[in-house]
Structure 1
Amino acid sequence: MRTIALPPLRLPFPQKLNPHNHQAWPHTVEWVKRFNLLPEKAIPYFRAQDYHWLSAYAFPEADLEQLILINDCMTAFYLFDKHWDDAPPDALESMQAPLLDALWGRPPGDAPEGPLENAMRDMRRRMMKYSTDAWMTRFCESLEAYFKACVWEAKNKSNSQVPDVASYIRMREATGAVQPSFELAGVLGLVQIPPSVLEEPIIKRLNQLANHEITLFNDIISLEKEMRVGDMHNLVFIIQKQNEKNGTECSLEGAMKQAAKMHDDEVLEFLELEAKVPSWGEPLDTEVRRYIDVLRCWMRANMDWSLMSTRYKTPEAPAA
């Protein structure tokens, strides 16, 4: 039961659901078993989880094969968190190095690769069925940025360092693994938009705002769970600490309201900016609208899944 009520939050985007949702999930469970990504005793718990709903809400237009691959990718992100939990920074960097080799398609080193590395190579091989080199590079770069941000977070935990609000928000763009999740739309050919257009300032800002909305909501809904396990990398807690440092009394409830206002401000800016997107001419305008809809679907998906998920309601079963 929550002791801090969730504030009302604005997100006026419709929910969409992929019709292949239930058909795709058993394939991912078998993929986890085939690559020995979890011990056998953890498989029944994993099978019963609801991670596939996130993929199905986020990518309603994906076909069955694409949705299975998206599920596998989301599962890999989940497993990174489980395997890296509480790892010291140096150990974390060592764990990440062979994964980065697999991610970029580099030849394996002398040491045998483990289950996660083998699974990563399998995902890359299947992604390249759809992806251009440019999109795969974007995906790899964004996932590598996530890896590096996880090391930054681990160093903070190791040194009992609480970042300031601005630094945290900047790094949170990477620690949430949101950007590689967005990039899947281009990697899998769900949007036919040149990566160069994504560098246009207005599109980059829409992308950033969607990223912020997702991570802000995640911090709001996960606050109590993270407090239970002593993880203070949460914007609500950081807002409270920064207020106290500046001599302003601030309760967690007050910090939660500040975070909620930040959330709604980001959504409002997204809506205002979306209405100002210029025309590049057809067929590119259609693809830009499709990409913006990916951002909308991801925001809605994250909120809907988070509210239904057991992840934020009860402690998770151990991975091993």
Structure 2
Amino acid sequence: MVASDRPTSGGSVTVNAGDGYDQPLKKIFVPDLLARWPFSRRLNQHHSKVSAEASAWLESLKVFSPKAQKAFDSGKFCLLSCLCYPIACEEHLRSGCDFMNLAFVIDEFSDVSEEGEVRQQKSIIMDALRHPYKPRPTGEWVGGEVTRQFWERTIRNASGQSQKRFIAAFDEYLEGVVQQAIDRSEHRIRDIQSYFHVRRRTIGARPAFALLELGLDIPDEVISHPTIEDVVVASIDMIALANDIASYNVEQACGLDGHNIVTIVMHELDTDVNGAMLWVADRHTKVETKYFEAVTATPKWGEPIDSQVREYCNGMGNWVRANHDWNFESERYFGTKGLEVQRKRWILPMPKDRLKGREDIGPVLIE
């Protein structure tokens, strides 16, 4: 199947531009995107100690109600970090765990906020990143203090290059989150091309990749080389595709699936949900090829740069595996049935509006 095909799966889901689509399907197919991916699952040796410390830190800031905090904990965001940064030292792993907690805090608040509120959240976060030693104003949104403490701790053990790139990447990520809020308020369903333009920012992979550099010192002209950028974009796209597949059922149940490749493909290619899943799997296979072509074409700059570039590119390849495995090991998208879903490759559709009308900001436990 090529990208321009209009895939069908024989299901009975219909797409109606006026009033959305019905979903009488009994099962939703979950494709195995990494059947050929050579990177294996790896877990950082410091995972137990650092995960406990990072989780306790976030809970101490009382970001969520006790009920929402319990659901947040079930997301196992520190596990994601420990899979994403398997060779990081203890200090750098703590930064990864704190970052992941912060990113999903932002996700929970921004998903239920209007454009103006999200812009204000962005302003607070960027101010905290640029002034990590400045006390946050009394009564300010808690995300500011979460950001400040994370960054104050991180810069103690971070290279200057990684700090510079993280701040720039985080600003770009948050601008994408603002655009997502605009699209949500306008009930806008993008086409595939423009969706990827926004999704490459909202997935938050670039700041996460900057944390791969905490102990590295790669020059600007190397990190910005077109071939390295091709590796970055391919990695981002694979992470986004896998996350959209995993999150689709939950997002459609709470009305947030407008920013999801599955919905985008259903609308643009006039297919059903399982046809869209097949399209995503096909797109993922093509992007895998782009990743390895770019890695193979990476220039040589001489040591010690070459070994650092190799570690950086391998880190992104590992990120693809880590994100995929966490999707099923976490309870964020499939509840306690993630490993079963990973084995059987199908799920039951959740009723629409199933997760709407929540009283507390924050995640809910998925049954």
1:279 aligns with 2:303: no
- Rate the CA distance shift 1:113–1:87 in 2: closer, same or farther, 3 A: closer
Give the aligned partner of residue 205 of structure 1.
230
User: 1:89, 1:151 within 8 Å by CA — same for their partners in 2?
Assistant: yes
Gaps of 5+ in 2: 1-24, 336-353, 363-367
Partner Cα separation in structure 2 for residue 83 and residue 9 of structure 1: 29
Give the aligned partner of residue 245 of structure 2.
220
CA apart distance, 1:5: 1.2
Q: Number of residues paired by the alignment?
A: 313
- TM-score, normalised on structure 1? 0.90
- Within-5 A mapping of 1:152-191: 152-186=179-213, 188-189=214-215, 191=216
CA apart distance, 1:139: 0.8
Give the aligned partner of residue 305 of structure 1.
326
Give the aligned partner of residue 261 of structure 1.
282
Decide which moves more: 115-124 or 18-27. Answer: 115-124
Q: Per-residue displacement from partner, 1:170-228 (whole Å, max 9, x unpaired)?
A: 11110111111111112x21x33223311011001101100011001111222222111
Amino acid at match of 1:142: A
Q: Per-residue displacement from partner, 1:254-298 (whole Å, max 9, x unpaired)?
A: 121111111111011111221222211112111111111110111
User: 2:91, 2:157 within 8 Å by CA — same for their partners in 1?
Assistant: no
Partner Cα separation in structure 1 for residue 76 and residue 217 of structure 2: 30
Give the aligned partner of residue 238 of structure 1.
264
Give the aligned partner of residue 21 of structure 1.
47
RMSD between superposed Cα atoms in Å: 2.3
User: 1:220, 1:260 within 8 Å by CA — same for their partners in 2?
Assistant: no
Secondary structure of the residue that 2:301 maps to in structure 1? coil
Give the aligned partner of residue 11 of structure 2.
none
Larger helix proportion, structure 1 or 2?
1
Decide which moves more: 128-137 or 262-271. Answer: 128-137
Decide which moves more: 199-208 or 40-49. Answer: 40-49
Gaps of 5+ in 1: 245-249
Amino acid at match of 2:205: V
Give the aligned partner of residue 124 of structure 1.
151
Partner Cα separation in structure 2 for residue 71 and residue 264 of structure 1: 29
- TM-score, normalised on structure 2? 0.79
Partner Cα separation in structure 2 for residue 119 and residue 285 of structure 1: 35
Decide which moves more: 21-30 or 46-55. Answer: 46-55
User: 2:54, 2:97 within 8 Å by CA — same for their partners in 1?
Assistant: yes
> Which among 177, 180, 186 is matched to residue 150 of structure 1?
177
